[in-house]
Every structure is written in C-alpha cells, then in structure tokens.
Amino acid sequence: MKIAKALTIAGSDSGGGAGIQADLKTFQERGVYGMSVITAVTAQNTLGVKSFHKVPTAILDDQLAAIREDLMPQAVKTGMLVDAEVIQHVAAELKNWSGIQLVIDPVMIAKGGEALLEREALQALQEDLLPLATLITPNIPEAEALVGMRIETAEAVEKAARMLIDLGAGAALIKGGHANTEQATDFFFSPQESIWLSSERFDTPHTHGTGCTFSACITAELAKGKSLVESVRTGKEFIRCAIKETLGIGHGHGPTNHFAYRECEQK
C-alpha cells in the first residue's frame, strides 16, 4: 500500500494547539504520514507566546536534507518561518524538490497579537518563497501585509487574491475569519477558477491554531492526490467542525478540536 506523505516546516507549539503539533495531528486525522522540520521552539499556551528560540540554520538544513534523502513527501506546508534567513534557506532547498505541492501559511501574528515573523522577512517571503507556492493561505491581516493594501470589502478581497497570483503564487485562499461578517467566508482564486466558501461563525474564543489546521488539512489532501479545489473544500469543512466541537481547554484562546471531523462525517 502506497502511503501519502506530507511535511510541515514550522515552529513547535508547546501548548499543542498550533504549529508543528497541530499540523501532525491533522495529517494523522486525514490518513497521511506526517513529518516535520522545526524552525523555532516556542514556549506558549492558550494565554500567549512567552518566548521562542530560532533553530540554528545548520540544523534546519540538516532536517530538510534528511527528509529529501529518504522520505520525500508529495506535499509540503510552511508555517512560522521566523526571519529572512530561514525563508531563504527553505526556499533554496525546496526549489530542488521536483513534483511537490507547496502550501504557504504565512504565519505572521499569533492569536494573542505577538509577532511571529520579523518585518524584514516579508520581502524574502514575497520574492523567494511565494513563487514556489501551489497555494498561499493568508488571513486578511496577513494578506494586507503581503499586498500592501487595506482589505475591507469583497471587491478588495478579490483584488488582493489576484495580486498574490501576480506575485507568483499558483493560487490564493484568503480566509475571512477576521472580517466583520455574519458568516466565516473565504475566497479561493486561481487562474482557472474562483469560489467563495462560507460557513457559520461560532462565538468561541477557542480558535488557536485555526490557520495551521486549515492549511495542514489542505496539504494532506493534496498529498493524497486530490485537486486543489477538493482539498480547499475539505479543509474548510475540517476546520468548521474543529471550531464547532470545541474542546474548551485552557484559560485563553483554546485549541481547535482536531478529531472533530471524524464525528462530523458520521452524522
């Protein structure tokens, strides 16, 4: 039996709700063998990020080489990349990985407001990594930073998505969780098609790791050979269930429920 493999390149979350931990949980739930390259170690919980330590680039390079030599994945996602140096090292390596699909979750700000991507890294993300992307999945504040414009209307969302394609991404998914709308509405755009995806909005503080989990599910589906649109649709339903069936743990922004989708499928 051929097993689909997916790799996450991101930071470690000691609270288990986001980053590497959320990605690996999601990969497992979607029947994909998950691997990781850790860019940073964070000390965090549902109340916020206390500190983080960047993994030395020599160790980063060794992790990437170890995967390439023995466990080449069908799909890769990136999350917290810390700074320009890390982005450039990751991009230089991934340029040589033929046939993989790359999902970029441009993690810039933690749920509590802490910056997780240094400002000077933005240009490296735009110029070095974005042109390698099959899909980029920013939320609205991240999309605003990437394209340099305010996004306050549906028309602006569509314009921003097109701008991300112009920057080199194969497709863009702008997530609407931060928008002041009745439903949680995301916009997917590629040169071939565009779709709006809406789901009910839940009144809960337990949304830590939603971006990581959403993009990880998409990555897992791509690793299994699903189309980009199929993968995005599955990811949307996966995260809807993960938010709806809250775990209710922690004293701040609690994690989503990574095993809720199994129960949703059975209903």
Q: Which residues are catalytic?
A: 175, 207, 209-212
Which ranges in 30-105 belong to alpha helices (H)?
Answer: 57-70, 84-94
Strand pairing report for 75-78 and 194-200: unpaired
The answer to whether the beta carbons of residues 218 and 237 sit under 8 Å apart is: no
The answer to whether the beta carbons of residues 138 and 174 sit under 8 Å apart is: yes
Print burial letters for 194-216: b (CB count within 10 Å at least 16), e (below 16): eeebebebeeeebbbbbbbbbbb
Those residues whose C-beta lies under 8 Å from the C-beta of residue 198, and which sit 6 or more positions away, are: 183, 184, 185, 186
Q: How many whole angstroms separate alpha carbon 113 and alpha carbon 166? A: 29
73 φ/ψ angles, rounded to the nearest 5 degrees? -85, 165
Q: How many whole angstroms separate alpha carbon 89 and alpha carbon 26? A: 26
The answer to whether the beta carbons of residues 216 and 27 sit under 8 Å apart is: yes
